[in-house]
Amino acid sequence: MRLKILSVGDAVLRQPARPLTPEEVRSTETQQLIRHMRETLNDAPGVGLAAPQIGLALQLAVIEDKEEYFVNATAEQVAERERRPVAFHVVVNPVLRLRSEPALEFFEGCLSVPGFMAIVPRARHVQVDCLDQNGSPRAIDASGWYARILQHEIDHLQGVLYLDRMYSRSFCTLDNHTRFWKTRTIQQAREALGI
């Protein structure tokens, strides 16, 4: 079942979400929610979806970055972003620790801010302690694009959108991103935009 994804302006996207107990995670309702969120993520398509994006103020997000999502990128772009496929998984009650400064800059979009992108600085390396989809503790060490996805989704659970972290001068429509910036380096975009 595809769920409705809320857009920026909806209050639930700006509220900190509540944690879940391991028992709640294992419940039939939460397991069904996870299945529906996965279907919604695949239909969108996207690489991450947090419960607040579907109107539920819960500390739960689903993540999956399929190779088919970056098959049209050049080898240089994939290497620069340190992008590798990430298998489907769930993070519940995540605690994020940055292992590097937020200095890695790339254009980023969001299913709740449809049709737009902006350059967002993120940490290259992160560690996340959380519960998995079975309510069991899990520790994740991530780098590159996977680290970016985790930071983006965990921000959602705190009521933060990439709009709060972006370089506002880089904010553009998806069409203009494709037209002007998709084939340029971030340094070229920064220089052209005066960032």
Name the catalytic one among 23, 64, 153, 191: 153
**DSSP per-residue letters across 23-92:** HHHHSHHHHHHHHHHHHHHHHTT-SEEEGGGGT--BSEEEEEE-GGGGTTS-HHHHHHHT---EEEEEEE
Burial of residue 17, with CB atoms counted within 10 A of its CB: 0-12 exposed, 13-18 middle, 19 or more buried: buried
According to DSSP, the residues that pair with 65 across neighbouring strands are 86
* 76 is known as an active-site residue: no
Count Cβ atoms within 10 A of the Cβ of residue 160 and give its class: 0-12 exposed, 13-18 middle, 19 or more buried.
middle
Q: Are 50 and 40 spatial neighbours (Cβ–Cβ below 8 Å)?
A: no
How far is the CA of 180 from the CAs of 74, 175, 183, in angstroms?
16, 9, 8
Q: Which residues are catalytic?
A: 153
